[in-house]
Amino acid sequence: MIRLFIPDDLRPGAEISLAIDQARYLTAVMRQVVGDAIALFNGRDGEWRAIIVEASKKGCRLRAERMLRPQSSPPDLDLVVALIKRARLETIIEKATELGARRIRLLVTRRTIADHTNVPRLQAIATEAAEQTGRLDTPQVLAPEKLDRMLAAWDPARRLMFCDEAGDDPVAEWGGPEGRARPVLEVLGAGDAAPGQPWALLIGPEGGFDPVERNALRSLPFVAPVTLGPRILRADTAAISALTLWQAVLGDWTGVQLS
């Protein structure tokens, strides 16, 4: 069944007029006609079965019939990612949605290639990925923000897993502001890391973090510097890897029921 994300409230008998692009997709691309069933979700009211009641050049109207699934939410996980080249950033947005990130925060650093991007396009990519992957919500893509401003306003209750790929001194001790980044599974499996705690994963720009930025991050008590292995990863590979590992250890891959 085709799934569409809509902003409208969903309840029995509710009639929804689709936006022009959604109506065109449903009728011209997918060849749906009056009487066909569609699944709708809005991130608040669960997933609903709806029937097409009008399909014409003037537009497309649906009528909600019954709930298919009650509303649920993914883990409270943010992905914070520095702006990179467009194609790779779009891949990150799509895969982060598929892997269950609740929010995607765009970041500007000293080595960021660009300080702006097309946020509405990225939000549309996230929405399309949510429709295809069976999510009952779509992650919010936030406008780019400078690193120092983001850290100044950070809620210390949310742990920040800093994927530090700068290359530590191999003879240094593990952990601490001056030590080596700890293996990611060691940090995620630590006793103070538990399902249900809010987290964020931080992925840097293609050129890595500036030493000043890196030292500032490692000095903060809510930051957990981690390494993703012996190889330096591209930003999109690092984001996918970090999200996968977090979900497997602390997220909804563990079978924990989340509200």
- Indicate if 82 and 48 belong to the same structural domain: no
- Indicate if 120 and 15 belong to the same structural domain: no
Whether residue 129 contacts residue 103, with contact meaning beta carbons closer than 8 Å, is answered with no
- Indicate if 81 and 65 belong to the same structural domain: no
Q: Which amino acid is at 139?
A: P
Asked if residue 58 belongs to a domain, the reply is yes
Asked if residue 259 belongs to a domain, the reply is no
Indicate the pTM of the whole model: 0.89
Provide the pLDDT for residue 207: 83
Report how far residue 171's alpha carbon sits from residue 169's, in angstroms, rounded to the nearest whole number.
Answer: 6
User: Which phi and psi (to 5°) does residue 155 adopt?
Assistant: -80, 115
The whole-number average pLDDT for the span 220-241 is 93
The residue with greater pLDDT, 73 or 71, is 71
Q: What is the tens place of the pLDDT at every residue in 172-230? A: 444 555 567 888 999 998 877 777 889 999 999 988 899 999 999 999 999 999 999 88
Q: Average model confidence (pLDDT) for the chain? A: 90
Asked if residue 86 belongs to a domain, the reply is yes
Kindly report the CATH number assigned to the domain that includes residue 16: 2.40.240.20
The residue with greater pLDDT, 183 or 91, is 91
- Indicate if 119 and 216 belong to the same structural domain: yes
The β-bridge relationship of strands 199-203 and 159-163 is parallel
- Indicate if 65 and 127 belong to the same structural domain: no
CA distances from 170 to 167, 186, 210, 232 (A): 8, 17, 20, 15
Report how far residue 246's alpha carbon sits from residue 232's, in angstroms, rounded to the nearest whole number.
Answer: 19
Report how far residue 169's alpha carbon sits from residue 166's, in angstroms, rounded to the nearest whole number.
Answer: 10
Whether residue 207 contacts residue 84, with contact meaning beta carbons closer than 8 Å, is answered with no
Beta bridge partners of 59: 56
Poorest-pLDDT segment among 122-126, 158-162, 252-256: 252-256
Quick one: CA dihedral 238, 194, 255, 155, positive or negative? negative
The whole-number average pLDDT for the span 93-122 is 93
Report how far residue 103's alpha carbon sits from residue 140's, in angstroms, rounded to the nearest whole number.
Answer: 5
Q: What is the tens place of the pLDDT at every residue in 29-50? A: 999 999 999 999 999 999 999 9
Whether residue 18 contacts residue 60, with contact meaning beta carbons closer than 8 Å, is answered with yes
For the chain, give me the number of helices (H) and strands (E)? 7, 12
Q: What percent of the chain has pLDDT over 70?
A: 92
Report how far residue 92's alpha carbon sits from residue 219's, in angstroms, rounded to the nearest whole number.
Answer: 27
| pLDDT at position 170 over 50 | no
The whole-number average pLDDT for the span 55-73 is 92
